[in-house]
Amino acid sequence: MTPDQLQTLLSAVQNGTLSVEQAASQLHPTVGELDFATVDLHRRDRCGYPEVIFAEGKTPEWTAGVVERLRQAGQDCFATRVNDDQAAYLATRFPDGIQDRIGRTFWYPQSTEPRTLVGNVLVLTAGTGDLPVAHETLNTLTAMGVQSQRIVDVGVAGLHRLLRHLPTLQSADVVIVVAGMDGALPSVVGGLVDCPVIAVPTSVGYGTTFGGVAPLLTMLNACSAGVVTVNIDAGFKAGYTAALIARRVAKRNVSE
């Protein structure tokens, strides 16, 4: 902001045409300029959560640089697709950060105080091999302040395993179903619950799953009406979307 712009802003506060809060929001930088990134520091205000770092393709130093810039702005830091080299470097730079090597995530919240989690999102996996993607989903929900539960290895090859958990399914605000191979589980779940079902196809399976394309197509063509589908292995997208739903529900419940 130039001196002239600052003077205009302060004059507007002085004459009452602009509130102190409005002026403060304009003074807050909206981007963080780095040599290798332009960090969106305004995203939390627009979307309810800070920019999330997609670490894949970045060097460890670049990833840490974005984390540091978000920290300087007083924002939580959450990164996905963190590889082993990045994880080791982040652990050295930010030893208080929370890492999950299975889900390949890094989380560094500003506050260490216990938080009150909202909502109730249930994450199911068809098989144990789907757990890495499910972990990314669960970690996203936690970082966004949403309560979650998980049920593992309840695929359609043994449907009785799923039906044991029917009361838990039917109490959820959102159910996220993570499945590879034939990808049939989300449609089954969609026929049992009255809430949104977010389907996550994974790349788990033999040759003709085509790296997750087969379950993706199954999920896109789900017979159950309440099923929507995200990209292959996109646990973060499912978690983020479910968190937005759960947080909006919680906000409305408080206001009523």
Each residue's pLDDT tens digit, 163-188: 999 999 999 999 999 999 999 999 99
pTM score of the predicted model: 0.86
pLDDT at res. 13:
87
238 located within any domain: yes
230 assigned to some structural domain: yes
Residue 72 structural domain: 31-108
Q: For residue range 207-217, list pLDDT tens digits in order.
A: 999 999 999 99
Residue 62, token pair as written in the block: 């670049």
Q: Which of 53, 76, 108 is the last residue of a domain?
A: 108
Task: Show the tokens assigned to 247.
Answer: 């947080």
- Count up the domains in the chain and report the number: 2
Question: Does residue 24 belong to any structural domain of this protein?
Answer: no
Q: Given the structure tokens 């909006």, which residue do they identify? A: 248
Residue 5 is assigned to a structural domain of this protein:
no
Q: Which residues of the chain have pLDDT under 50?
A: 1
Structure tokens, 110: 């500003």
Residue 16 covered by a domain: no
Residues 104 and 202 in one domain: no
Q: List Cα–Cα distances, 164 to 34, 65, 177, in angstroms.
A: 52, 46, 16
